[in-house]
Amino acid sequence: MNLELLTQQTVEIVRKASLFIQQEAALFSRDRIEYKDLNNLVSYVDKEAEKLLVQALSEILPEASFITEEGTTGQEPDPLALNWIIDPLDGTTNFIHGLPVYCVSVGLARGKEPLVGVIHQPSTDEMFYGWQGGGAWCNGIQMHVSKVPVLQESLIATGFPYYKFEKQKRYMYILELLMQKTHGLRRMGAAAVDLAYVAAGRFDGFYEYNLNSWDMAAGVLLIKEAGGTVTDFNGGDNYLFGGDIIAAAGAHKELMELIRENF
């Protein structure tokens, strides 16, 4: 596979899906919200954007399978295969409430190995993209992770749990510790945006649990290509399908040790 060409083609496909989302944002009515389960929202915008992505990506790489948030293909995903991993609208709750922090996220991975990552944030018209061995880029400018070496000087992003609240107290304790040990914490409401911002050096680290592969696949590629470190909460490589992730630059070890000791 020519990963650079594949990335360029994916960028154009993602741009079309993003344009559709922005057009619908001006017309969106909250009475068209659906609930998949507790606090897990979806709309026709998510579903139609996913259909657009799946159809176009199928044409450029027919041998790849799909892992998608809205289950458009009806396939039983094989995590060990070559997969497009798609979140057509990461930050659906933000989108529904009119907050301009959401994105389209498309990753290509072979098993747990990320090959291509593309994230577009419509509100800022920033296209984050990269491929294995080719670096990470934003609108034509190469990205690098932050050079901040210590947790005390870091700005950290995270996400709040919206289901599986049994670990909430431990999570809140980690928040309390990080409030005291960093420059601050931010919760954007779209994990793919958070990961893209780590790759761009805007955040010095990100952690979250109860995530899915489509939240992470593209962002993981970008961070690795931008020089960052990505692990699960235990320091291993089971983040893409394991549900928890720590992604950071120089403060990764400190952040991981704090989370591992208290989660």
- Indicate if 105 and 171 belong to the same structural domain: no
- Indicate if 193 and 124 belong to the same structural domain: no
Average pLDDT score over residue span 129-150 = 98
**CATH code, 97:** 3.30.540.10
- Indicate if 80 and 199 belong to the same structural domain: no
- Indicate if 252 and 131 belong to the same structural domain: no
40 pLDDT tier (thresholds 50, 70, 90): very low
Reported as a single tens digit per residue, the pLDDT across 234-249 is 999 999 999 999 999 9
173 pLDDT tier (thresholds 50, 70, 90): very high
Residue 121 to residue 126: CA distance in whole angstroms: 5
- Indicate if 120 and 12 belong to the same structural domain: yes
- Indicate if 196 and 137 belong to the same structural domain: no
- Indicate if 15 and 138 belong to the same structural domain: yes
Average pLDDT score over residue span 116-135 = 98
Q: Which of 37-41, 57-61, 121-125 has the lowest mean pLDDT?
A: 37-41
Average pLDDT score over residue span 212-240 = 97
- Indicate if 216 and 176 belong to the same structural domain: yes
- Indicate if 202 and 112 belong to the same structural domain: no
pLDDT at 148 over 60: yes
**CATH code, 222:** 3.40.190.80
How confident is the model at residue 161, as a pLDDT? 75
- Indicate if 87 and 168 belong to the same structural domain: no
- Indicate if 120 and 203 belong to the same structural domain: no
- Average pLDDT of the chain is 92
Report the domain count for the chain: 2
Domain edge (last residue) among 125, 142, 159: 142
pLDDT at 80 over 90: no
Domain that holds residue 69: 3-142
- Indicate if 200 and 220 belong to the same structural domain: yes
